[in-house]
Structure formats: C-alpha cells, structure tokens
Structure 1
Amino acid sequence: MSTAYAAYEDALFVVDADRGTIVREQRFDSRPECVAVADGAVLVGTFEHGLQRSTDAGASWERADGIEQDAVTSLAVDPNDPATVYAGTEPSRLYRSTDGGRTFERLPGLTDLPSSDEWSFPPRPDTHHVRWIEPDPNDPGLLHVAVEAGALLRARVDADGSVDWTDRVPSGRRDVHTIATHPGIPDHAWVAAGDGYAESTDAGESWRHPQDGLDHTYCWSVAVGLNTESTARSPPRVLLSAAASAREAHRVGESYLYRRDDGTWERLDGRGIPTGEGVYRAVIERGTDEATFWAANNHGLYRTANGGDAWTEIDVSWPDRVSEQTCRGLTIVD
C-alpha cells in the first residue's frame, strides 16, 4: 500500500493512494512546513508550534523536545538509520535526533560560518531559515544543507554531535529550495534553486549548471531516478518543477515540469498532470522503483510509473480550498 503524507498550507493530508481516499485531514494551530516519517512516527514541522510528532497514525500529537525555535522549516530522515532525524528551523539552526524524532539536540557551528552575515530571506529580511537537509545515502554523516536565502553548505556530523562545516563554494547556488541524492549514484547531488538548477559530481565540492532547454529557471523541487530504459551507465533521470519567478510559482500560479536524461531539458506538458496557467509549483518525490515519481500541487496528487512520460491523478476528493494552496511537503511510504 502506498500512503502519501501531503502537507498543505492549513492541514496535513494522509492519503491512501491505492484506494484514493483521504485517511486523515489533520489541522494544526499553525501552518505545516514539512513532513517526514521516521521509525514509525509521523513528524510535521509547523511555523509557530515547533515539531509535532504522532506515533498513532495522527490520532494524537505531541511536541518534540529539544528544539528551541517555534518555526521548524525542514526535516530529513537518515537513509542509513531511520531513527536518526535532522530538523532545521527559522532562525537558522540545525538539530539532530537519534530516537526517531522524540528528542533533539542542537548541532553547533551553522551561524558561525563566514557567509552567515549575508543570509537573508527577502519576505522577512531580518531572518533566514534552513530550507532543506539532505543526508548523503552513500557517505554516512555527510549532510547537504540549504539556508534560504544565501548558502548551500555541507556538514560532516560525528556520532558525538560535533560538526565539521564547509561554507558555500563559488559555484553553488544561493537560493536553494530542494536537494536530491541517490543511493545508486555516489558523489552526486542535484539542486533546485530560485537562481537556477545545479548538479554536482564530487559530493558538493563544485557545481555545474546545465540550463539548455530550461525556459523557467525559478526551480522549486527536484527528484532523481536511474534511467532503467537504457544501460546501467546511462545518465540519471532528473525531474524538476520550475516557474519564471517566485510570483508565478507561489501566488499567480504558472509553473511547469521538466525532465532531463542527458543534455537538453524537456518540458512535460500534456502528460496527464496540470502545468502552466493556474498551477502552483509542484513538490516531487521519487518512488521505491526507479521509474516511479510522485508530484503534488494545488490540483492534487499525481503518480508516474514510467519516468514522467504519463501521469495518473490519484482520484481523491480534496477540499475545494486546496486549489488555492501550495503543497509544503510530500512524503511517500510504500
């Protein structure tokens, strides 16, 4: 059974994707910002009430201990250890849990980096936040960390909680929204940023920016799978959501999906998932097999089983208000 946890602006929706039913609609007293499932627990970061945790499928919730900030803006589960969870906040802080998100400790050094004086989130220019955390599945302890806006960073975290930080590199994007890695492709990382797309083949030490065919460069979400239609040595398949600007992505509603196997980007219009006018930027997630991807936007939840060639809507009776909301986070559990 595939269960989708989709966080929208005023609620978390738990969707049985096989039956096409909303199992639970959970409202919080604050906007959900991100969602993850760790060691059997559902975790939701909220903007005003910290990290909420449920161990009974959402029937009850409690606030996780140890996170001082009220705004939890990012969550990541270590792919090598489902009991290890990372959380990012506004103002920018990084926390780690080793008990499935029950308790957290703050990891040091983030705001001591030289570039931190330049970090600022334009809508709230007096602050900034950790927008994304991506543990490297092939290098335990290595994290890629995005601060919105201002820095794409790396952190090597030891078992005792000490951290060796690497500040932003000149070729890294500054307004990163999403970072992707893949367990079958060591040393690679992919980035969707407000200042464009980027990819690394040396674990984030340097970045290149292939944009040929990418007509919309305000990039929001990226997901990566192996291209199983070709040889094992073929380049990966990259799916990307993008718009012309933040205004089109979040408020006006005109966004698109792109795919890149190698070389030129291809726009995925007319494939069964809405794109263009009236569509807010999608959040994309890779499925359990290499050809399956999921995407959620203000029109609903969609799945492709062939790498984006065709998408099928998960036929759910969404509340009408969802059509006016952006998806804040998406997690799939199979």
Structure 2
Amino acid sequence: MTFSKVSRVALALVGLAAIARPAAAHVDYVTDPTGDAVDAIAFVRETLAVPVNAALFVGSGAVAVTGLALYLRYRPRVLDIEILRAKLATYEDLIPWMLRLSLGLPLVGAGFQGYLFAPTVSFDPTANPLLRLALIGVGFCLLFGLGTRIVTTFGMGLYVLALAVSPDALLALEYVPGFVALFVLGGGRPSADDILLDIASTEGSIYGRVDRVHLLKAWLDELTAPYRRYVPTVLRVGLGVSFVFLGVTQKLGDPARSLAVVEKYDLTAVVPVDPGLWVLGAGVTEAVVGLALIVGLLTRASAGVAFLLFTTTLFGLPQDPVLAHVTLFGMASALVTLGSGPLSLDRLLGEEPAGDAETVSAS
C-alpha cells in the first residue's frame, strides 16, 4: 500500500469518525432498543478478522500516531496559530457567560420538553409541574446570571436526582464539569450578579439597603479565586471522561444499536466501509479524543475538532436533538479559548506556555 493510499485511508476514517462519532455517543437519542444482544469482544474480534478492516484500522492508527510523533518532535512554528492563541486569551473573561449560555439554554428546553438533562430521562411536565419549573427556573437564572452560584448548586442537585431516576443521565455527564466551573467562576460579566453587586455595594443606594445577599458574592469571589486557574483542567477532564464513557459504553459496549445507527442513516453510502468498522472506528476515536482531553494533549486542537464534529453531526443526523448538544458545544468552545490549563501534558511538553489561562484566576 503506497503512502498516498494510506493517506486516503486515514482521511476516509477521519471522515467516518466525523459523522459517526457523535452519533455513536448518543445512539439512545436516535435509535430504539434492538433487542439483539451482541457481545462486544466478539464484535471487535469478528470485525478485525476481516483483512481489509484490520488494514484500515491499524493503518489509520499508525498514520495518526506517526503524525503526532512528528509534530511533537519538530514543533513547527505557525505564526497564524500563535496569533490565534493570543487573540483567544483576550476572551477569557467571557468564559462564565459562555458556560451560562451553554448550560442555561438546554435546561430551559429540557423543562419545556419534559426531560431531565438527557432526552432519554423523560417525565410528564403536566404531572410534574414543580420539576418543570425548577429546570426552567435554573436555566433562566443561568442565562441572566442571577444568583449564579446558588442556582448552579441547585442544578447539580437536580442532576443527582436525574441519576437517581435513571442511569441514562450519564449521557449528559458534561453538565457536572460545567456546574463545577460555574460555581468557581461565578456569573462573570455581563450578568445580573455583576450589576446587582455594584449597586448593592455602593454606599447610599436604595437597593443596597434591601439586598445584602449579593454582598456574599464578593466574599465567594475571593474564596474561589485561588481555584479559578484550574477551571480549564476541570472542563477538559470532565469532558474527556464523558467522551470516554460514551465511546466505550454507547458504542463499543452496545454494537447492536450502533450498527442500527449506521443502517438507519445509510452511513456506508457516505464512506463505503464495513458497518462494523464504522462502529469500531467511531467508538475508538471518541475514546481516544476523550483520553487526549483528560491528559491535556493538544487540548485546543482536540476541542476544536470536537466542535466541528458536533456541527457535522447536527447537520447530518436530523433526528439528533440539538439542545442535547448545546452543553457540549459550550464545553468545547471554552477549552478552545482557555487551552489545557495546569496539570496537563501540554504544559509539561511546553506546548502551552505557563501563563496561558492563568488570567482566569483574576477574571
């Protein structure tokens, strides 16, 4: 096999992962249980027993590893990327707003549509009006940045409730790092909390005589300040764990439903490979991207690719619920802006300067 053929194979599998990976992550959203039990280990063994599948799988993996090794060895200097990184650093003060939007919007939608975080954890909104009101209320408060840390804590409680109702809530695991990051950062600017704090702390203001609660925000800001530098770490580890969980359990762990996704959307017509290779390639790709985020390797690039893959999926799979992916978009966007943060391979390898994302602590 020539190098050009290997390159085409690698690009084909990248395209395969671009379409199938997010679909694999949420197969429960677009398929019904098949009733067919497929042993995961036997599925992998049988798929790779086909010589063509094995060549494509191993070959694309080798190309990816070689490319990564060459990049880390020579570290090409690209001025455009350096300018992009410097520009992204100027947006760090907007991270709380970004997170509030990406958590608040889907929660409002979940309340109106009647599900707890993941669309498969449904409830009857008319029979449970308080639960519906709670989701909508938390969502709107996050959107406005009103009582951000309080409603974030309440939102985390709702997520624990969702887990108690159904383990399917793990499909929306990305809410956990989002809530934790927002509690550490607070509402940021622009937000109702920022405005009300300024009014409440101004001597002689009428509102300041009534609202003493917002004065707690200044105390909490000071209390959480030392931990804000770890927000990128929280986001990438949380999102990475979510990816690994979804790739392993939803794709590799349930190949029957994953194969149903390939058949339902005729994905083999997009990239003509064996359906089993679609499933295997998508699951492994998602797990590898998740591991890269967890260890903080090429974080901005990984998060940027994830953002593009989510976009491709939403256009390619019309039945995949848009709201269920908004939080993922927000997490990926925040990581593109912040980079890996401390406790990462990027920092250890010098891929990301030590000063990157440190200004979050002063935002």
Structure with the larger helix share: 2
Taking structure 2 as the reference length, what is the TM-score of the superposition?
Answer: 0.24
Greater Cα radius of gyration, structure 1 or 2: 2
- Higher RCO structure (Cα 8 Å, ≥6 apart): 2
- After TM superposition, the score normalised by the length of structure 1 is 0.25
